[in-house]
A and B are shown apart, each in its own frame.
Chain A
Amino acid sequence: MTANTEKGKVAAPEMHGTNRSGVDIPISVPAYAVDPKNIGEPGEYPFTRGIFPNGYRGRLWTIRQYSGFGTAEESNERYKFLLEKGQTGLSVALDLPTQVGLDPTHPMAKPEIGKVGVSLSNLSEAEILFDGIDLSKISTSFTINGSAAIIYAMYLAVADKQGVPREKLTGTIQNDILKEYVARGTWIFPVRPSMRLIADSILYSNATTPRFNPISIAGAHMRDAGSTAAEEMGYTLANGLAYVDELQRRGGNIEKFAKRLSFFFYVHMDLFEEVSKFRAGRRIWAKKMKERYGVMDPKAQHFRFGVVCGGSSLIAPQPYNNIARVTIETMAAVMGGAQSIFTCAFDEAFQIPTETSAELALRTQQIIAFESGIGASVDPLGGSYFVEEQTDRMEEEILKVMEEIDEYGGVEKAIEEGWIQQRLAERGLERKVNTDSGYNVVVGQNHFAKQDEEIKVGEVFSLDPTVAARALEKFEKLKDRRNQAEVDTSLARLSKAAASDSENVMPYLVDCCHAYATVGEMVACLKNEWGEFREPVNL
């Protein structure tokens, strides 16, 4: 099949029998191929049909939109706007210097201040970010990984300042370093000490903020980079098991910590593949928890997950088509049983969403939640011959991916040697070639492209060019007014804790935050003890 890229040509592409992951799809699945006994019931082990017996009747998924840019003041304003519009949770995007642990004054940091999220270099910025927002009433999700433990410590420090008891805090830090090495790139320390830092933060969170999700094990970024749906789930579950092993090594009780593990995925356009992916993932995780670790408490067997609808499935040409894409993806997430959903704005493929496009993305979820009725019955696709057959097939494929990693020598080795990264790059090339050729149809791009379309929309959000200067100015002032002796003492104690494998570094990080030590200072201190990750650059 050839691409229909010639502008103005609108011939319909062929309907071919494979899905986006290259898997053959049966024309119809015969009834005898599905054994109803294996399907199970919602809320019952192995939870293929969902972790709750009453699905969304008991509680709707969390509607969570990702936002944050520029300085803390501007983000604070946007958060208040979104909360007013009926959003039930905040999601904080952080700029790259904060994510990789560099202060705004670092030469590599300057061009990136406030670009992909808010600059949160120290506690005084977090105080501004959450000004007038009651942290006991809202849940906050931070997309942060390499420096996640530090940002979590800072959140605790802000709550302390607001007088909010820590046990009331709800929210999530992504805190998933393994996929950073593979696809997102905000690693800081080598794999081993990073695993320890994550285990420290999870165990500390279990004890002090029991309603907080201290990790969100993510497949999303690997999927967006090119992996198939089965690989996305397989890599993610393998990473999840690696964290479980490390948490046990650090003395954690699996019946307790497993209840606070959560997952995070992309939803792409193939509706039934996505639903099958989530159903299979839920089943595999429950089985691993029970069969491999002997976990008995059903809540500790639950596979809870949030999703992003959009990502690389959204394109710049004919941008309003993205609204239709996000709608289909959101339906897949709901029928797959997601606990929280983020819908991308239609213009996200080429700009920071405007208030109008961000509101439209939020309304899309509200229409699906309150008008469509698809969430009224649990697992409405359960028992469909096709969906059950696809779920079984997906389970087999995911397990195969996990076995391949085991055979290589485990996740940590595979990442340190760049094996998973290499596989992912090859998959990325494959997906790109299939899109270029038009085999994977993308309406408005490789088929049904408009003649002479100017790929642009009228409304453009522009980032205030003074953001970097203001962030630097505030940073210098902070350094002048804080108590330097307190900073030095708290950093020295952090170093000592980091050097000892029997200490948990979290309380020391919270102390550093209270002393207004900066993210860059805390990271430098830990780098000094633990070193830095050396990226394998093999293609």
Chain B
Amino acid sequence: MNMNTSENVLKGTRILVGKPGLDGHDIGAKIIALALRNAGAEVIYTGLRRSPEQIARVAVDEGVNAIGLSILSGSHKELVPDVMERLRAAGLGGVAVFVGGTIPLEDQPYLKEVGVTDIFTADMPLADVVSSIARTLA
């Protein structure tokens, strides 16, 4: 079995995988973190229950190229714009933000509107997730 879904396409990148809010389902975030690492990225995982403020601060401190936010509690419409705003305030308005989790189709246009680059759901193949991020960072 080849775990390296897209070998080294993310080499040289630093990606923050964050869990904003109170949602405790972290397996998706961890799987993505492992897949991004297998694709060559340096991955920083925040752990659970981070506030939008904390996520923005880690993004600044770690100098990341991209941020993935994982939300399965249905609070993405509140949490994502909050994170985006804090990133802009911290001068990271240009960093690509990806969102994964339980995101209904009808909410996706709104997230794109507030600046999210791409949205991933659980059934999406890892190779597609990795290549979307790689394309954005290329």
Contact = CB atoms under 8 A, between A and B. Distances in A.
B123 A539 contact: no
B1 A430 contact: yes
Contacts, number: 107
A350 B102 contact: yes
A100 interface: yes
Contacts of A430: 1, 3
B137 interface: no
Interface of B is mostly: loop
B73 A433 contact: no
Interface string B51-91: 10000000000000000000001110011001000000000
B97 interface: no
A539 B82 CA distance: 27
A96 B45 contact: no
A453 to B, nearest CB: 12
A185 B31 contact: no
Nearest to A465: B77
B123 A445 contact: yes
A436 B24 contact: no
A539 B37 contact: yes
Contacts of B105: 455-456
A537 interface: yes
Interface string B16-30: 000001111111001
A315 interface: yes
Contacts of B35: 429, 432
B23 A96 contact: yes
A3 B22 CA distance: 35
B31 A100 contact: no
A32 B27 CA distance: 43
A299 to B, nearest CB: 34
B127 A436 contact: yes
Interface stretch (A108-116, A257-265, A280-288, A518-526): A108-116
B22 A108 contact: yes
Interface in B102-121: 102, 104-106, 121
Q: How large is the interface on B (under 10, 10 to 19, 20 to 34, 35 or more residues)?
A: 35 or more
A89 interface: no
A5 interface: yes
B26 A185 contact: yes
B81 to A, nearest CB: 10
B92 interface: no
Contact of A185 (B25, B33, B123, B127): B25
A434 B122 CA distance: 14
Interface in A211-265: 224-226
Interface stretch (A10-18, A126-134, A420-428, A509-517): A420-428
Contact of B27 (A110, A317, A428, A463): A428
B11 interface: no
Contacts of A3: 125
A381 B31 CA distance: 37
B46 interface: yes
Contacts of A315: 123
A351 interface: yes
B30 to A, nearest CB: 4
Given A183-B27, A428-B30, A537-B47, A433 B1 contact: yes
A100 B49 contact: yes
A375 to B, nearest CB: 33
A112 B22 contact: yes
Contact of B126 (A100, A115, A184, A436): A436
Interface of A: 3, 5, 96-97, 99-100, 102, 107-112, 115-116, 180, 183-187, 224-226, 312, 315-317, 350-351, 424-426, 428-430, 432-434, 436-437, 445, 455-456, 460, 463, 535, 537, 539
25 contacts: A5-B125, A100-B22, A102-B22, A108-B22, A108-B51, A110-B78, A111-B78, A112-B23, A115-B73, A116-B73, A185-B49, A224-B27, A225-B27, A425-B27, A425-B31, A428-B30, A429-B30, A430-B1, A433-B1, A436-B5, A436-B126, A460-B106, A535-B48, A537-B47, A539-B34
